[in-house]
Chains A and B, each alone.
Chain A
Amino acid sequence: MLQPLDWLVVVLYFAFIAFVGYRTGRGNKGLEDFFLAKRSMPWYAIGLSVMATQASAITLVGTTGQGYVDGMRFIQIYFGLPLAMVILCATLVPFFYRAQVFTAYEYLEKRFDGKTRSLTSFLFLLGRGLADAVVIYAPSVVLAIVFGIDEKVIIIAIGVGATIYTTLGGMRAVMWVEMWQMLIIFLGILFCLGAVILGLPDGISLSDAVRIAGATGRTDTVDFNPDPNVTYTFWTGICGGIFLMLSYFGTDQSQVQRYLTARSLTESRLSLLFSALLKIPMQFIILLTGTLLFVFYQFDKPPVVFNPVALERLAASEDVSALEADYDRAFDARKLAAEGFARALDTDGESEARASFLEADARMSGVRGEFLDRIRAREGTFSDTNYVFPFFVLTKLPVGVVGLILVAIFAAAMSTVESELTSLSTATIVDFYRRYARPVAEDSHYLAVSRIATLFWGGFATVCALYMGRLGSAIEAVNRIGSNFYGPILGVFVLAIGTRTANGHGAFIGVLTGIVAVQLTDRFWSISYLYYNLVGALTAVVVGYLLSRVFSSTNPSV
């Protein structure tokens, strides 16, 4: 359970965020103020805000868990990010900035037509509208189970907290708050890494720990396997990852809106390059923390399953005492083998000790796998990856630091939620309300409806998150489909800035065809999901370009 000092840290965090939001969010007068911070933000604030938007709470707890369970190969998903940032800085960013648009999709009307803008903006709203609920709900479940706080309290704290200062303070408040939230996240990550390293037993150095993890393959960060069906390899990271990142940072309003707030094009570019330089090292530290946690638990007995509630339910429904005894024996054997391996490093007996350790580790994984299989047989899909890190934080870190890490998780969740809220309300008001319902009105009117839209999306996300237990699979299905829109939308932007002959009809049909292509790929081709955006973008470009030529030859006025 959390101690009073931890609660004090949490309360101080919320007070600090409210203070920053209030100080920086005063004096909004119109849409440019409310949605783009009057294009006045410096590059470092935007860069940190871009990173905070991408780093959700489930990224923080899930990635460390991934490091524990599967190792560091997941880092390859970010290999395309710096290259994508360079491509964006050289291509899309100048177009967006010079067009003085509020949304990425608004640019498409300037280049093509209203229907292409409305379609892409609608797809964004559809894809992101429910994603916000997932961003709130997913960490709330984990925190509720591990920290023993009521799930609804966490959902309301994240959802309502983020909605209040986003509605009142607008983009300027959100971005300054996000900058601080990202710094808190950095601090939390570094504290955890330090705590895991300090928690290693006497006689086990950091170098030993890395090599123990390395023996199990968990420190493999680069895999040159050319098979496109393997999810995380160097090639999927470079080829698929670039398109994934181009789609996300180039066409997702929640990211585009960040760099549109820059006070100059130079600062826009600098913000993206800043995050390009920091992202891989940051993910390395997060994954290394998870991987070192694996080593930590070689010497300190981990629970057989990190989700205590699922374990209790299993134990209540069937007798697992024999399996638990097996697990205890397997842990003792592995601990001895790990200690032997650490002592044997750089000696003649290293390979023999390594083999014994791997055998003991496989036996322990087997017993744990048996538990997981039994839980899956009862509850369907089950994974405890997201519970590893919070469990360690609560049970092993000192009072006060637990509060700090909890605050970092809150900060990660809220920074993503508030970015989604501003982008959803911007697309709603600028691409639909101002475009179709009230093209001309007073600034005060637009400001009022913008706040109502923010409030609506915040309320919608919070309510959906509260009922997610019942609506879970439906929301996840919509969310999954939504994530397939970005490749085709990227394809339209490639058509917009890369060709002169593409037109609105071709681009419109190109997007729709791209979406169908991604759905078919998802269904019938077991290729790594990192390639989906590549498939969607290429289909949209090829079909959009060819159809544009057909339309312009049959009707030159198109």
Chain B
Amino acid sequence: MHRSSMLKEPDSPPPVFGTWGRFYAVVIANTIVTYLLLILFSMYAR
């Protein structure tokens, strides 16, 4: 393991997502919510 990472505090882990990773996660989450809303719409209309 690299020396600098050994010196890191255990309560400050490296970021899992960068800025774009978070943005992509929002788009994917929004898409999943869209699918769910469409399923609810179909169920309501039936």
Where the two chains meet, the residues of A that have a C-beta atom closer than 8 Å to any C-beta of B are: 75, 79, 82-83, 85-86, 89-90, 210-211, 213-215, 219-222, 234, 269, 273, 276-277, 280-281, 284
Contacts and interface: CB of A to CB of B under 8 A. Distances in A.
A320 to B, nearest CB: 35
B5 to A, nearest CB: 25
A273 B45 CA distance: 30
B17 to A, nearest CB: 12
A427 B39 CA distance: 42
Contacts of B38: 75, 221-222, 280, 284
Interface of B: 20, 23-24, 27-28, 30-31, 34-35, 38-39, 41-42, 44-46
A79 B35 contact: yes
Nearest to A221: B38
Given A90-B20, A213-B45, 20 more contacts: A75-B38, A79-B35, A83-B28, A210-B44, A211-B45, A214-B42, A214-B44, A219-B45, A220-B42, A220-B46, A221-B38, A222-B35, A222-B38, A222-B39, A269-B23, A273-B23, A273-B24, A277-B27, A280-B34, A280-B38
B29 to A, nearest CB: 10
A83 B24 CA distance: 9
Interchain residue pairs A-B with the least CB separation, the first 6? A214-B45, A219-B45, A82-B31, A221-B38, A86-B24, A210-B45
B35 to A, nearest CB: 7
A89 B20 contact: yes
Given A210-B44, A213-B45, A221 B27 contact: no
B46 A82 contact: no
B28 A86 contact: yes
Nearest to B41: A221
A284 B34 CA distance: 10
A361 to B, nearest CB: 15
Contacts of A219: 41-42, 45-46
Contacts of A221: 38-39, 41-42
B23 to A, nearest CB: 7
5 contacts: A82-B28, A222-B35, A234-B35, A277-B27, A280-B31
Nearest to A85: B27
Contacts of A222: 35, 38-39, 42
A9 B22 CA distance: 44
B41 to A, nearest CB: 6
A75 B42 CA distance: 12
A215 B28 CA distance: 31
B35 A214 contact: no
Nearest to A213: B45
A215 B44 CA distance: 11
B46 A214 contact: yes
A284 to B, nearest CB: 7
B24 A90 contact: yes
B40 to A, nearest CB: 10
A276 to B, nearest CB: 6
A89 B24 contact: yes
Contact of A277 (B30, B35, B45): B30
A234 B31 CA distance: 13
